[in-house]
Amino acid sequence: MRSDTGSEPLPRTAAWVILALGISLYLLMSAETLVALGFPYTATEGSPLAKFHPGTYCLLLAWLVAIASHGNPVGVLGGQVARHPLLAGYFFCMILVFVWVLYRHGVSGIASIIESLWTPAIALFVLYLLDLRRHRQIVQIVVALLACNALVAIGEFLTGARLAPQSEEGVFAQEYFRSSALLGHPLNGAQVVVSLLPAVTLLPWSLLVRLTTGVLLVFSLFAFGGRASLSMGFIFYGGYALYRLFRAVVRGRFSYLQLTGGSLALMLGITAVAGVVAVTGIGERFFQNLQWDDSASVRGRVWEVFAHLSPTDLWTGVAPAEIDRISLRIGLDPKFEAVENFWIYLFMQFGVVGYFPFIVGLALLVALLWRAATPSMRVAVLVYFLVASGANTLASKTMSLMMLAVVVVAGEAFRGPRPAAGGSGYGARGAVAGRRPG
């Protein structure tokens, strides 16, 4: 990868444009929107090519173009594997999972593996072949689109109507109206927003713009009504902010006037948020349902699935259709409920044989993200997996893990460029210059 100075070859610019388009499509076109527009994205019938999100095709094309922009494809791929062993190991493990599922269950469920587990590796391989300034631009695009999504979510809550195309399957019964916005489902929207919220602090935007964006994202969480996302966000981000504040105060970085003014501003901010919530009712579901209800009981009931698996099933896994039948046996309503724990769902689908490479691969990706992340984005990685564990996130088609990986790795560019070798960015061993191994 080149430094962020100097001219950029046209093919590499094209790769960045295609990558940015793919990421934008993921954030603008949900599964529910695709179905509403007539694409059999979630249907069991139809062309296999229609089972993949347009953004996925863009990622694949961007990777091919980016590789071609650096010369010999074999040398470029070899250099990426050598330079980024954690990412290469993650991708290899997920390919093993794909092969196992294809062998054990056929094509059932393989689209979600590609969309949820392959795309993080593909997107990062593309990023590692682009200039650092492109990394910074990608993060800004993601945050800007999340702000647009937040405006739609807040607008939906205030009007009580869906403002984005929504399939009939995506419209679900609910006691409280919850916004779905551009990401198609309240839980998806809340999870993506809460896991990427700290990215606002990385941006070179003015303080006013960053504060406004952050407030929009926080209020969108109330509009989505995701209790787990809101709770984890408040606990971990609030705790991290208090820790940073305590350290700054102890080290004497604030004057008496700054401490007094900051405390007053904080109190006014909390009062303003409480006033908006009280007047609009935007946080009604969160504040009135802080107890163990049907939604929470489903997440406790999913552990009963193991009683319905034979020893062979435990080792080799069962097909998604059989998982649906087991869900019925434990009393889950297939129209509104599912195995809301991706760890359990994927263990049922993969079995011990496929689950082992999945866990190893996921650990490699987390290690990569942890090394690349700023302190606040490390908290975001933790929040992501805590929230995702209460849903079947990675067991379905989702771009959430890919988006987290992109923002974490691309966000590292805001720390400033590292020294890079001249030429194409590749040394004698074919490794991308200017990056530490990942």
Query: What are the domain boundaries of the chain?
Result: 10-254+340-415
Q: Given this model, what pLDDT does residue 144 score?
A: 97
Give the separation between CA 221 and CA 306, rounded to whole angstroms: 34
Amino acid type, 264:
L
Q: Given this model, what pLDDT does residue 420 score?
A: 41
Q: Which of 2-11, 76-85, 116-125, 369-378 has the lowest mean pLDDT?
A: 2-11
Among 40-49, 356-365, 428-437, the range with the most confident prediction by mean pLDDT is 356-365
Residue 432's DSSP bridge partners are: 426
Give the separation between CA 108 and CA 373, rounded to whole angstroms: 35
- Higher-pLDDT residue of 231, 357: 357
Q: Given this model, what pLDDT does residue 434 score?
A: 39
Token pair of 158, please? 């205030």
Q: Which of 109-123, 275-289, 361-375 has the lowest mean pLDDT?
A: 275-289
Give the separation between CA 435 and CA 418, rounded to whole angstroms: 7
pLDDT tens-digit map of 182-195 = 998 888 999 999 99
Q: Give the residue ranges of DSSP H helices in 106-204.
A: 110-113, 119-127, 132-159, 186-196
pLDDT tens-digit map of 136-177 = 999 999 999 999 999 999 999 888 888 888 765 555 555 567
272 phi, psi to nearest 5 deg: -65, -45
Q: Given this model, what pLDDT does residue 296 score?
A: 59
Collect all residues with Cβ–Cβ distance below 8 Å to 26 and sequence separation of at least 6.
53, 55, 399, 402, 403
184 phi, psi to nearest 5 deg: 90, -30
Token pair of 213, please? 């964006």
Q: Given this model, what pLDDT does residue 437 score?
A: 40
Are 156 and 187 in contact by the 8 Å Cβ rule? The answer is no
Q: Given this model, what pLDDT does residue 276 score?
A: 66
Q: Given this model, what pLDDT does residue 427 score?
A: 33
Give the separation between CA 425 and CA 6, rounded to whole angstroms: 12
pTM: 0.87
Give the separation between CA 336 and CA 410, rounded to whole angstroms: 36
65 phi, psi to nearest 5 deg: -65, -40
Please state, as a whole number, how many other Cβ atoms lie within 10 Å of the Cβ of residue 403: 23
Give the separation between CA 143 and CA 139, rounded to whole angstroms: 6
Question: What average pLDDT is seen over the chain?
Answer: 84
Look at residue 2 and tell me whether its pLDDT is greater than 60.
Answer: no
pLDDT tens-digit map of 71-119 = 889 999 999 999 999 999 999 999 999 999 999 998 888 889 999 999 9
Are 432 and 81 in contact by the 8 Å Cβ rule? The answer is no
Collect all residues with Cβ–Cβ distance below 8 Å to 394 and sequence separation of at least 6.
116, 117, 342, 346, 388, 401
Q: Given this model, what pLDDT does residue 436 score?
A: 42
Residue 392 DSSP code: T
Residue bearing tokens 């009580």: 160
Give the separation between CA 161 and CA 349, rounded to whole angstroms: 37
Instruction: Quote helix, strand, coil % in the chain, to nearest 5.
Output: 70, 0, 30
Give the separation between CA 62 and CA 16, rounded to whole angstroms: 7
Give the separation between CA 108 and CA 256, rounded to whole angstroms: 63
